[in-house]
Amino acid sequence: MTLGEALAAARQKIDRLDARLLLQYATGCSHADLLARPETPLIAPAYAQFAAWVERRAAGEPLAYLVGEAEFRGRVFQVSPAVLIPRPETEVLIELALDKLRGLAAPRVLDLGTGSGILAISLALECTAAKLVAVDVSPEALSVARTNAGHLAAPVDFRAGDWFAPVAGERFDLIVANPPYVAGGDPHLVLNGLPFEPQLALTDGADGLSCIRQIVAGAPAHLHAGGWLLFEHGYDQGEASRNLLTDGAFKATFTHRDLSGIDRVSGASL
Site string for ligand GLN, 231-270 (x = CB under 6 A): -x--------------------------------------
| Strand extents, DSSP E, 25-95 | 69-72, 75-78
**Are β-strands 263-269 and 251-257 bridged in parallel, bridged antiparallel, or unpaired?**
antiparallel
- Spell out, one character per residue from 87 to 126, where the chain touches ligand GLN: x when CB under 6 A holds, - when not: x---------------------------------------
As a whole number of angstroms, the distance between CA 156 and CA 149 comes to 7
| Residues in region 183-202 near ligand GLN by CB under 6 A | 188, 194, 202
Stretch touching ligand GLN by CB under 6 A, among 71-79, 167-175, 179-187, 218-226: 179-187
Binding ligand GLN (rule: CB under 6 A), the pick from 26, 29, 125, 182 is: 182
Distance in Å, CB of 239 to ligand GLN, minimum: 18
Stretch that binds ligand GLN, among 9-17, 69-77, 128-136, 176-184 (CB under 6 A): 176-184
What DSSP element (H or E) covers 132? strand 131-136
The sign of the CA dihedral 208, 210, 215, 220 is positive
Which one of the spans 72-80, 134-142, 151-159, 177-185 is the region binding ligand GLN (CB under 6 A)?
A: 177-185
Q: Does an H or E element contain 111, and which?
A: strand 108-112
Of 25, 77, 181, 231, the one binding ligand GLN (CB under 6 A) is 181
Write the CA distances from 107 to 86, 169, 226, integer angstroms.
25, 17, 12
Half-sphere exposure of 171 (CA within 13 A, CB side): 10
How far is CA 86 from its chain centroid? 3
How many residues bind to ligand GLN according to rule CB under 6 A?
Answer: 10
Examine residue 62 and tell whether it contacts ligand GLN (CB under 6 A): no
For the chain, the residue count is: 270
Please tell me the distance from the alpha carbon of residue 189 to that of residue 201, in angstroms, as a whole number. 12
Q: Least distance (Å) from ligand GLN to the CB of residue 148?
A: 17
In angstroms, rounded to a whole number, what is the distance separating the alpha carbons of residues 178 and 180?
7
Which span (1-9, 151-159, 180-188, 236-244) binds ligand GLN, by CB under 6 A?
A: 180-188
CB 181 within 8 A of CB 244: no
Would you count residue 20 as binding ligand GLN (CB under 6 A)? Answer: no
Interface residues with ligand GLN (CB under 6 A)?
Answer: 84, 87, 178, 180-182, 188, 194, 202, 232
